[in-house]
């Protein structure tokens, strides 16, 4: 496997995970909060907007991290080494 395979697996997986996590948060938010206020609207109360942003950020960040870790583990199992982008990347 080469750098192109890692870019497809790592980036594609992270983007897909972010989109799915946002959809899940939207679904949970709409069921948990029993009002019709859209937290993305400038007319929404600021506390709801900030809470929504925090929950979405946490879910997306966790999903992207877990997906990237799984993709790196799969790459390592297939290629015998971690992708160069992971090995050289500082925390």
The model's pLDDT over 56-86, given as tens digits with 9 standing for 90+, comes to 999 999 999 999 999 999 989 988 888 888 8
Residues 6 or more apart from 64 whose CB is under 8 A from it? 14, 17, 18, 21
Kindly report the pTM of this predicted structure. Answer: 0.80
Q: How confident is the model at residue 35, as a pLDDT?
A: 77
**How many whole angstroms separate alpha carbon 34 and alpha carbon 50?**
17
pLDDT level of residue 24 (50, 70, 90 thresholds):
very high
Cβ(64)–Cβ(12) under 8 Å? Answer: no
Structure confidence at residue 39 as a pLDDT band (50, 70, 90)? confident
Residues 11-22: tens digit of each pLDDT: 899 999 999 999
b vs e for 42-78, b when ≥16 Cβ sit within 10 Å of the residue's Cβ?
eeeeeebbeebeebbeebbeebbeebbeebbeebeee
Residue 86, both tokens: 């992971």
Tell me, what's the pLDDT at 18? 93
pLDDT, residue 88, reads: 74
What kind and span of H or E run contains 7?
helix 3-32
């Amino acid at each position: 496997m080469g750098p192109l395979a890692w870019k497809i697996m790592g980036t594609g997986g992270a983007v897909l995970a972010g989109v799915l996590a946002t959809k899940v948060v939207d679904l949970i938010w709409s069921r948990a909060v029993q009002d019709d206020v859209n937290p993305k609207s400038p007319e929404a109360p600021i506390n709801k907007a900030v809470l929504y942003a925090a929950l979405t950020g946490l879910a997306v960040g966790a999903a992207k991290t877990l997906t990237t870790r799984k993709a790196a583990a799969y790459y390592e199992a297939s290629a015998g080494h971690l992708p160069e982008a992971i090995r050289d990347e500082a925390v």
